[in-house]
Amino acid sequence: MTDSVIISPDVSWSDLSLPTPIALGVMASGKGSNFVAVANAIREGKLNAEIKVVIYNKAQAKVKEKAEALGIPTVFCNHRDYSHREAFDEVLVETLKAYQVHWIVMAGWMRVVTPVLINAFPDRLINIHPSLLPSFKGIDGVKQALAAEVKIAGCTVHLVRLEVDSGPILMQAAVPILADDTEATLHQRIQTQEYAILPRAIALAAQSCLIS
């Protein structure tokens, strides 16, 4: 069986031009491969944007060194330093505003966010999740899809609303599940599609506002 993927909406980079560069902030908790995909789309002249700062919340997160290698400022915000989620989000908002970002990308950000963050950047907070939402919200989206024995998995980029992994969908990619898939092999194929849709979805969201 071929691994035929469907991406929707099917927009090419020529349809996704932005008149002025948008100022992005990235928040990530892990290895940061989605951050790299966004940075690559910018470097290749596809996504008209600048990543002003990468915030990470785990000391060991590999995204830190990846951002530093590209000369992008990084800020460590440790959620464990705060007694409640709102206090942590206040610090995120302060940091993002200090770097004058207008769009925020949660690229593997493994924290529940509060109205403090959502309301500070209305309709400008973007999340990527490794499932075809609204299925398989929360942690282990890929594992959940395998356990449910669905035949098609995928990934979703959406604007963030209060309910976890919910909000207006910008773009999705559907990835067939193969008979011998493990969580690792399926997640790897889903991630390849994440790298395709995340930068495009950012441009799509920005186009719909046309404010940088």
> Among all residues, which ones are annotated catalytic?
129
Instruction: Find the DSSP H helices in 78-182.
Output: 85-98, 115-120, 141-148
Query: Considering the complex, what minimum distance in angstroms separates the CB of residue 48 from ligand GAR?
Result: 22
Q: Among residues 52 and 156, whose Cβ is nearest to ligand GAR? A: 156
Verify binding: residue 194, ligand GAR, rule CB under 6 A: yes
User: Rounded to the nearest 5°, which phi and psi values hold at 2?
Assistant: -80, 150
- Sign of the alpha-carbon torsion through 147, 153, 155, 160: negative
Q: Which residue has the tokens 């990308």?
A: 105
Are the C-beta atoms of 62 and 108 separated by less than 8 Å? Answer: no
Are the C-beta atoms of 27 and 61 separated by less than 8 Å? Answer: no
Tell me how far apart the alpha carbons of residues 77 and 61 are, in angstroms, rounded to a whole number. Answer: 12
| One residue of 31, 79, 85, 143 binding ligand GAR per CB under 6 A | 31
Query: Considering the complex, what minimum distance in angstroms separates the CB of residue 211 from ligand GAR?
Result: 27
Select the span of 23-31, 81-89, 176-184, 204-212 touching ligand GAR (CB under 6 A): 23-31
The interface with ligand GAR within residues 107-146 (CB under 6 A) comprises 107-108, 128-130, 141
Tell me how far apart the alpha carbons of residues 144 and 150 are, in angstroms, rounded to a whole number. Answer: 9
Which residues form the interface with ligand GAR (CB under 6 A)?
A: 28, 30-34, 107-108, 128-130, 141, 155, 165, 191, 194
Q: Binding site membership: which residues?
A: 32-34, 85, 127
Annotated binding site for (6R)-10-formyltetrahydrofolate, which residues?
85, 127
